Structure 1
Amino acid sequence: MIVFGAPRRYVQGPGVLGDIGKELGAIGKSAVFIADERVMKMCGETVRQSAEAEGVALTLMPFGGEVTYDEIARIVARIGDAPTDIVISAGGGKTIDTGKIVARDIGAHFVSVPTVASNDSPTSHIAVIYDDQHKLVGVEENRGNPELVLVDTDIIIKAPIELLSAGVGDALVKVFEVEQCIGAGGKNVFGAGSPLTALALARACYTTVRENLVGAYAAHAKGKPNAAFEALVEAAVLMSGLAFESGGLSVSHGMTRGLSAVPGVATALHGHQVAYGLLVQLELENRDPQFMADMREFYRAAKLPLKLSELGADQASNSTVQTIAELSAAAAHMKKFAREITANDIAEAIGRIEAA
């Protein structure tokens, strides 16, 4: 059995936030808008006016800053018994993942409004939960994918280049993970086989990222979206999200179990963590030196980390490497690989990366 999941509707382009009310009106009549203080100032009034113009009552709900079980419970308690057809989360992955589980817990539709293209969380139905020290503690599921994903590229382009770089990293890894997952007979995020559609999307995602990076980064420097920027954002948010959920994950994401346990590295952006994880995966795949040299050149152009120190580690000591290796080896995604992977395999791969 194969399963393919996706949002009901995806809208992307400059200035589309101003029309969100029309989209919301087709979903329900009451909504809660979750955002942190910065995003609330940037988007809250636009969303309120657009929603109310279409007869959708909107309640603004501040987000505390970290996606934890306590924060989810706090927001659910604040909503209480108030009629809520829609939960809207605007911001980065933390806010969006929080909104998914709030929506699940109160039985509402979910809408994601990413203000950065730093990862593919906006399209998915899963939420990664951390503790207050940003250590990964759980993965939860909404009842389904978002009802709507609305991506305003006039907003996305104002975010720091480091965040766009993280989105590039998260998108880049997908083709390698989907190919490994399918080759190993692994299951996708829905617990089913991976459709060929997901593999095609993963490959298109990789090609789109490689072909549009330079033009998109140039547009970012000028602060005005162009065709390359639109393509890169689509790859980072839509293609990447559909590919990973329906295609499956492997070593690159499995590495986050160990990387998130190391001080300094734990606070690195998810897309940068999995980009480093991809280097480990490619070493485990025994990729030839020419391939690795090409990939490293792309990493430099994309501003992706090539060393643990670039992820925030004080040093790549033996104890640090061993911690990463042992925790990562135990991750479920590691089983979706062509052969069994041990902690020693991972440690040796990290050693080669750090020595390059």
Structure 2
Amino acid sequence: MDKIIVSPSKYVQGENAIAAIAGYVKPYGQNPMVIADDFVSGLVGETVAHSFIEAKMQFSMELFGGECSRQEIDRLQVKIDNDHNDVIIGIGGGKTLDTAKAIGFYKKIPVVVVPTIASTDAPTSALAVLYTPTGQFDQYLMIPTNPTMVIMDTTIIAKAPVRLLVAGMGDALSTYFEARANAASGKATMAGGAPTLSAQALAKLCYETLLADGFKAKIAVENNLPSKAVMNIIEANTYLSGIGFESSGLAAAHAIHNGLTKLEEAHHLFHGEKVAFGTLVQLALENAPLEEINTVLNFCHQVGLPTNLFDLGVKEIDLNKLMDVAIASCAEGETIHNMPFTVTPEAVVSAILTAHTLGLKK
């Protein structure tokens, strides 16, 4: 199996980076279309427009409708055809960014994504999640190339609710452990090959950065302030975790997350919050050393990530419901089968209860 690493062509991160967006985009096209929802447009629309006007570049700005759906993608493609745009820029949350990725894929034009939060590692990936116009899951769109460029404006991200940054840490927390398991099993990664040494190194650096700077970054963002720790965590949540998961592989933690969607009590949680608990379950599943599990638990307690079923919203432990979670986690095609041993639903239930019990102790 060939070793493969994938990544955006360029990653830009800095304070007020969005004010210089025209200069970053100009090498890729002269007539970009910018999509953003109403809130984000009010937040950064004037700054973005000023940047393009100063650079004497033609541009279009369109309001994003709210769902990354076929209908919204088609609507915006018509606008691009009419305005002859040669670059698509998505600014905002995941659905806006995924819409930009999909449009870039269908129109064969460069894609620039500008996240306004750092709650997941999805911005750097070659994947878009499509929904129906009413918000129901439709399909995954697997895109053959990663975004042309990712721009992270740390000033904007530091002012977002702290829970979003912490959720991003939860998503990033799994990266090293899933990469480690995937390497041990020898299974193919999402990039379609074996992990490279560099991808595995980025996954490990992601974990080390979380432990070193996660709590400090949380303190800064609670006060709407940037800091070196915030800069490091934004990079860990987005770039290190993004390259780490896509090119080093997923395993049990994300499959457990998918299983946890069966619990109605946990529907209020963000993706990364459920992934954090899934990471603890994976560690229990592989019988990791207690010292390692305690390190992860301590980190979760520090930043406020869930460590037990009660934190997820569960009121009473129901083994039948946990078996439903475990069965969904072990469904055919799930990434739990990238673990270096056979995993059964019974083993998953046992690991969930172990992680829950360990996570109760603070």
- Residue in structure 2 matched with residue 318 of structure 1 by the alignment: 319
Give TM-score, length-normalised by structure 2.
0.92
Q: Which among 335, 343, 346 is matched to residue 344 of structure 1?
A: 346
Residue pairs, 1:260-299, within 5 angstroms: 260-299=261-300
Paired residue secondary structure (1:311): coil
Taking the aligned partners of 2:172 and 2:154, their CA distance within structure 1 comes to: 17
Q: Paired residues, what number? A: 356
Paired residue secondary structure (1:308): coil
Give the aligned residue type for 2:219. Answer: A
Residue pairs, 1:99-114, within 5 angstroms: 99-114=100-115
Say if 2:66 and 2:96, in contact at 8 Å, map to a contact too. Answer: yes
Give TM-score, length-normalised by structure 1.
0.93
- Residue in structure 2 matched with residue 200 of structure 1 by the alignment: 201
- Residue in structure 1 matched with residue 161 of structure 2 by the alignment: 160
Say if 2:175 and 2:245, in contact at 8 Å, map to a contact too. Answer: yes
Taking the aligned partners of 1:326 and 1:320, their CA distance within structure 2 comes to: 10
Distance 1:69 1:275, change over 3 A: farther
Taking the aligned partners of 1:286 and 1:304, their CA distance within structure 2 comes to: 21
- Residue in structure 2 matched with residue 334 of structure 1 by the alignment: 336
Query: In the TM superposition, what is the alpha-carbon distance from 1:36 to its structure 2 partner?
Result: 1.7
- Residue in structure 1 matched with residue 243 of structure 2 by the alignment: 242
Query: In the TM superposition, what is the alpha-carbon distance from 1:95 to its structure 2 partner?
Result: 1.8
Residue pairs, 1:226-237, within 5 angstroms: 226-237=227-238
- Residue in structure 2 matched with residue 254 of structure 1 by the alignment: 255
- Residue in structure 2 matched with residue 145 of structure 1 by the alignment: 146
Say if 2:102 and 2:141, in contact at 8 Å, map to a contact too. Answer: yes
Residue pairs, 1:8-157, within 5 angstroms: 8-130=9-131, 136-157=137-158
Taking the aligned partners of 1:88 and 1:141, their CA distance within structure 2 comes to: 19
Moved more, 99-108 or 148-157: 99-108
Q: Percent identity?
A: 33
Distance 1:91 1:296, change over 3 A: same
Query: In the TM superposition, what is the alpha-carbon distance from 1:130 to its structure 2 partner?
Result: 4.5
Query: In the TM superposition, what is the alpha-carbon distance from 1:247 to its structure 2 partner?
Result: 0.9
Question: Any unmatched runs of 5+ in structure 2?
Answer: none
Query: In the TM superposition, what is the alpha-carbon distance from 1:142 to its structure 2 partner?
Result: 2.5
Taking the aligned partners of 1:165 and 1:134, their CA distance within structure 2 comes to: 25
Moved more, 279-288 or 70-79: 70-79
Query: In the TM superposition, what is the alpha-carbon distance from 1:183 to its structure 2 partner?
Result: 0.8
Give the aligned residue type for 2:270. Answer: L
Paired residue secondary structure (2:28): coil
Taking the aligned partners of 2:108 and 2:268, their CA distance within structure 1 comes to: 32
Moved more, 173-182 or 92-101: 92-101
Say if 2:6 and 2:247, in contact at 8 Å, map to a contact too. Answer: yes
Query: In the TM superposition, what is the alpha-carbon distance from 1:262 to its structure 2 partner?
Result: 3.3
Give the aligned residue type for 2:345. Answer: A
The superposition leaves residues 282-334 of structure 1 with CA deviations (integer Å, 9 ceiling, x where unpaired) of 11111233332332121011211113343345654334312211111014311
Paired residue secondary structure (1:151): strand
Paired residue secondary structure (1:197): helix
Distance 1:130 1:285, change over 3 A: farther
Distance 1:67 1:317, change over 3 A: farther
Query: In the TM superposition, what is the alpha-carbon distance from 1:128 to its structure 2 partner?
Result: 2.9
Taking the aligned partners of 1:132 and 1:83, their CA distance within structure 2 comes to: 26
Distance 1:131 1:325, change over 3 A: farther
Give the aligned residue type for 1:343. Answer: P
Taking the aligned partners of 1:78 and 1:307, their CA distance within structure 2 comes to: 48
Taking only aligned residues, the RMSD between alpha carbons, in angstroms, comes to: 2.0
Query: In the TM superposition, what is the alpha-carbon distance from 1:254 to its structure 2 partner?
Result: 1.7
Give the aligned residue type for 2:10. Answer: R
- Residue in structure 2 matched with residue 224 of structure 1 by the alignment: 225
Paired residue secondary structure (1:90): strand
Paired residue secondary structure (1:340): coil
Query: In the TM superposition, what is the alpha-carbon distance from 1:56 to its structure 2 partner?
Result: 2.9
- Residue in structure 2 matched with residue 355 of structure 1 by the alignment: 357
